[in-house]
Amino acid sequence: MLISVALGQVLSLLICGIGLTSKYLSEDFHANTPVFQSFLNYILLFLVYTTTLAVRQGEENLLAILRRRWWKYMILGLIDLEANYLVVKAYQYTTLTSIQLLDCFVIPVVILLSWFALLIRYKAVHFLGIFVCILGMGCMAGADVLVGRHQGAGENKLVGDLLVLGGATLYGISNVWEEYIIRTLSRVEFLGMIGLFGAFFSGIQLAIMEHKELLKVPWDWQIGLLYVGFSACMFGLYSFMPVVIKKTSATSVNLSLLTADLYSLFCGLFLFHYKFSGLYLLSFFTILIGLVLYSSTSTYIAQDPRVYKQFRNPSGPVVDLPTTAQVEPSVTYTSLGQETEEEPHVRVA
């Protein structure tokens, strides 16, 4: 359980690195290029994972995947790109506190989609853990108000707030879709197709919307190093997140990512001379307590034979599912912690 919580914190630290490099680029060097930054990440994914698919043989080959599922990955690539873009764009219109609070909207989106699309069922302790985590985020927002960090552009808060909600919704859709793919297909296929379509659409969006901003960037070795650091953190986040989601779930990963803002704040105390408040520590430990509560027990899959067929393990044995008795599933869908047994095949009569 604690190892799984720690894995989520690794993702938070990567997001902290993404935020710090973006802050330096935008504020110190006036390089406002969110699409270009995403484009660099998608290019890395393309070079590593899409080329891996291209050299594979049989049904896992890139062309074979494109023939069967190209339009699904095209939609997913657009969703992933625009989720990143909308949240970054919101910083121009609304305050930091609003973004931090409204970005939590991704959690109910993931829960609802997991419930209806993946048939995951939660227990009371899971909802308690989620409530405690969101309470910790509220504590952090209150600390921001007390120390004055809530001040931001805020020139058109309604537009900014709607952008955050839109981005959070797209993030939720992308995360649940990612969980489904890595459990039914493979992590390499997901990352390879995201790299392919993400690079294609971000390249088009870059040429249309951001080419002038890119020409204004005062290129030197410092800016180049920041872009390299940002790309490395993003590539690490995209590569490592499917591993953590498969071990835990999309819901638990998004709960773990709530601490990313606090890691950025703790770094900002030294790098940007932010003001400190004891509420930040209270917020951090409140979120961790919520994570431990959420991870203290496993979620499970609704008793539907189609789920077993979807979440199949190709190396596992084929077993028959009783059709008359009401039985508990023999495999639990573990929210945090390693799976204790292989998921069997189920032959549906």
What pLDDT sits at residue 84? 87
CA nearest neighbour of 300 among 113, 127, 128, 120: 120
**For residue range 258-301, what is the model confidence (pLDDT) as tens digits?**
888 888 888 877 877 777 778 888 988 999 999 989 988 888 88
Give the pLDDT confidence score for residue 339 in this predicted structure: 41
pLDDT at 346: 40
Cβ within 8 Å of residue 49, ≥6 positions away: 188, 191, 192, 195
Q: Which positions ≥6 away from 318 have C-beta within 8 Å?
A: 344, 345, 346, 347
pLDDT, position 96: 67
* pTM of the model as a whole: 0.81
Low-confidence ranges of the chain (pLDDT < 50): 153-154, 305, 307-349
pLDDT of 297: 84
199-208 contacts at long range (C-beta below 8 A, 24 or more positions apart)? 199/39, 199/42, 199/43, 199/45, 199/46, 200/77, 201/77, 201/78, 201/81, 202/35, 202/38, 202/39, 202/42, 202/81, 203/39, 205/35, 205/81, 205/85, 206/35, 206/36, 206/39
Greatest Cα pair distance, the chain, in angstroms, is 70
Report the alpha-carbon distance of residue 195 to residue 201 in Å, rounded. Answer: 10
Structure tokens that stand for 136 in this block: 């910790």
Identify the pLDDT of residue 150.
56
Rounded CA-CA distance 36/77 in Å is 15
- Return the pLDDT at 91: 75
Burial grade of 91 (CB within 10 A; 0-12, 13-18, 19 or more): buried
Which pLDDT score, from 0 to 100, does residue 151 have? 54
Per DSSP, helices labelled H in the chain are: 2-23, 34-45, 51-55, 62-90, 96-102, 106-117, 124-147, 157-184, 187-205, 211-216, 221-247, 250-256, 260-271, 278-295, 305-310
Give the integer Cα–Cα distance in Å for 73 and 198.
9
Strands 318-320 and 345-347: parallel
List, in order, residues 6 or more apart from 35 with CB less than 8 Å away.
85, 202, 205, 206, 209, 210
pLDDT for position 29 = 86
Identify the residue whose tokens are 């227990």.
123
What single-letter amino acid sits at 79? I
Between CA 133 and CA 114 the distance in angstroms is 19
